Amino acid sequence: MTEVDLVDAHCHLDELGRRGMAVERALSLAHAAGVHQMVTSADSLAEGFAGLELAERHPEVYFTPGWHPSNGRAPTAAELGELRQLLRHPRAVALGEVGLDYSTRGGRPSGSHEMQREVFRSMLELAAEADKPVVIHQRAAQDDLLAVLDQTPPVRGMLHCFSGDAGFAAAAVSRGLMCSFAGNVTFRSATDLQQAVVVVPAAQLLIETDAPFLSPQPHRGALCHPALVAVTAAFVAVHRGVCLETLAKATAEAARGFFRLPPA
Ligand SMILES: [Zn+2]
């Protein structure tokens, strides 16, 4: 039997640690599941520094510094300088999470929409300047997200934890974006995501855990960790009518191409 080779395109290892699973444990479970590389992404500057430290300590971990819309404001000039500095690190493989979030999670909106678009544009510039791709967070802001992308010079982008239907996936694909699916694609109610995941060409398809969040079925509600990307990959493979090995190979190749990772 050939061993599967998977990449977790998006997780939050420091947050996983805070919720009780040490990175060493997560990495050994991942290795056993055939998950040989992973990208830990940051919502805040502090998480960016934490990601850097993890990436320097563990050869299978790469990181992305980011500025999530939930920060509710633009970074200061000093913070922008620090983001730029982090992004120059050789193990910083993209900028993100950045993007637009018009949902009101926990009743707390992430600042005005106009401010969010302004910050997102400045983040796209920062990524272009560093010649690195962007990890995009999008909630309830599909039209504005595409509009901002259409108005700015093209960047290589990934819609992390893809949220939307097949129509939005097609719009993203036509703009050259990668679509990355998390464990919520396995939820019984997620028919939109299940329809979206079949319209994305293999070269633009990524699989992620978004650990410690969104454990796939049948682990829903439990702490999510990078090994579980194998569970989501198996589900997506069935939906696309291919075997797990084929799906794993294609998505690992797509992730390595997008983030410019070396072979595992
Ligand atoms: Zn995330």
pLDDT at residue number 111:
85
Give 186's DSSP letter. G
Distance CA 253, CA 96 (A): 20
Angle in degrees, CA 254, 155, 145, rounded to 5: 100
| Cα 179 to averaged position of ligand 1 atoms, centre (Å) | 14
Tell me, in angstroms, the distance from the centre of ligand 1 to residue 206's CA. 14
At a CB cut-off of 8 Å and minimum separation 6, what does 226 contact? 8, 11, 13, 26, 27, 29, 30, 35, 38, 209, 211
Q: Does the residue 57 lie in any domain?
A: yes
pTM of the model: 0.96
Q: What would the two tokens of residue 140 be? A: 């309830």
Beta bridge partner(s), residue 40: 11, 63
- Is residue 1, in this structure, part of any structural domain at all? no
Under 8 Å CB-to-CB from 190, ≥6 apart: which residues? Answer: 184
Residue 157 located in a structural domain:
yes
Asked whether the beta carbons of 87 and 51 are under 8 A apart, the reply is no
Q: Can you give the residue range of the structural domain that contains 193?
A: 6-259
* Distance, first Cα to last Cα, the chain: 19
Residue 224 lies in a domain: yes
Give the helix/strand (H/E) hosting 2: none
Q: Are 102 and 141 within 8 A, CB to CB?
A: yes
Q: What is the pLDDT of residues 107-154, one digit of tens each?
A: 666 789 999 999 999 999 999 999 999 999 999 999 999 999 999 999
CB 160 within 8 A of CB 177: no
CB 40 within 8 A of CB 61: yes
In a domain, 145, yes or no: yes
Q: Find the 33 Cα to ligand 1 centroid distance in Å.
A: 21
- φ/ψ of residue 62, rounded to 5: -120, 160
Whether residue 77 lies inside any domain: the answer is yes
Residues, beta carbon < 5 Å, ion ligand 1: 210
Flag whether 91 is in a domain: yes
Cα-to-centroid distance, 40 and ligand 1 (Å): 8
> What does the alpha-carbon distance between residue 147 and residue 85 come to, in Å, rounded to a whole number?
28
Distances (CA, A) of 49 to 33, 44, 249: 27, 9, 31
Q: Are 6 and 233 in contact (CB under 8 A)?
A: yes
- Helices (H), ranges, the chain: 13-18, 23-32, 45-57, 77-87, 113-130, 142-151, 166-174, 191-196, 229-240, 244-259
The reported pLDDT for the residue numbered 106 is 62
Distance between Cα 215 and ligand 1 center (Å): 13
Residue 125 CA to residue 139 CA, distance in Å, equals: 21
Tell me the one-letter amino acid at 99: G
**Centroid of ligand 1 to alpha carbon of 1 (angstroms):** 33
Q: Distance between CA 160 and CA 178 in Å, rounded?
A: 8
Q: How many domains does the chain have?
A: 1
Please report, for the domain that includes residue 53, its CATH number.
3.20.20.140
Q: From the CA of 97, how far away is ligand 1's center (Å)? A: 7
264 within a domain of the structure (yes/no) = no
| Residue 107: per-residue pLDDT | 60
pLDDT by residue for the chain (264 residues), tens only, comes to 458 999 999 999 999 999 999 999 999 999 999 999 999 999 999 999 999 999 999 999 999 999 999 999 999 999 999 999 999 999 999 999 999 999 976 666 678 999 999 999 999 999 999 999 999 999 999 999 999 999 999 999 999 999 999 999 999 999 999 999 999 999 999 999 999 999 999 999 999 999 999 999 999 989 999 999 999 999 999 999 999 999 999 999 999 999 999 998
